[in-house]
Chain A
Amino acid sequence: AQKVTQAQTEISVVEKEDVTLDCVYETRDTTYYLFWYKQPPSGELVFLIRRNSFDEQNEISGRYSWNFQKSTSSFNFTITASQVVDSAVYFCALSELGGYNQGGKLIFGQGTELSVKP
């Protein structure tokens, strides 16, 4: 069965602190994709990153970095030197390649609400 668990419901930090959002997934497929999305207070989901199961290289994009570890089925997201504008709900999602007709539906975690205080 497919499942994504984001155990941290809410995190509160002070600006400039580093913060890591945890994501643990379950899948029986060998080929799958992992995603992170940001949902700011305005409500629209914003795509942040896509990673396939064969690429375990960590990625850095500005203040954002992602750590993918297949051995622990985790895909964690770190924000360095957090800013107030980072305040949002962050979702981790899983998509199994499956057959052609399965089309890449996303299975989302419950989200982590990040609050960055000035």
Chain B
Amino acid sequence: DTGVSQDPRHKITKRGQNVTFRCDPISEHNRLYWYRQTLGQGPEFLTYFQNEAQLEKSRLLSDRFSAERPKGSFSTLEIQRTEQGDSAMYLCASSLGIAGGINEQFFGPGTRLTVL
């Protein structure tokens, strides 16, 4: 059984550049989540997809951030005009949505972004 995969695992960029990350969820999972984790902190929710629909976005997700899940399978997270404060681990998770309940989320290895 293939878990959640993320690409790239590491990204170093210069301030002002655009970056894009990819997440491939567990194949039968219809829900996909993006989180951001900085050193010494717990992950913080960014956004969530149910199939291809983006249903919730955090206030943390500024207008420089955009996420897509075009066919309800893989997802991309793009950050435009990166800032040093964007340096963090970006985590993707997926779960199987159930009516009237919440299943556990399975996390990928993350993409570590460093903005110089």
What is the total number of residues of chain B having a CB less than 8 Å from a CB of chain A? Answer: 29
Flag whether B50 is at the interface (Cβ < 8 A).
yes
Flag whether A97 is at the interface (Cβ < 8 A).
yes
Is there an interface contact between B55 and A101, defined as CB atoms closer than 8 Å? yes
Cα–Cα, bound, A81→B102 (Å): 31
Q: Which one, A45, A46, A104, contacts B103 given CB within 8 A?
A: A104
Is there an interface contact between A50 and B104, defined as CB atoms closer than 8 Å? yes
Q: Contacts A44-B108, A91-B42 given: A105-B101 contact, CB under 8 Å?
A: no
- Which among A57-65, A72-80, A107-115 touches the partner chain? A107-115
Which residues of B are at the interface with A, using a C-beta cutoff of 8 A?
31, 33, 35, 40-45, 48, 50, 55-56, 89, 91, 93, 95, 97, 100-110
Which residues of A are at the interface with B, using a C-beta cutoff of 8 A?
4, 33, 35, 37, 43-47, 50, 52, 91, 93, 95, 97, 101-111
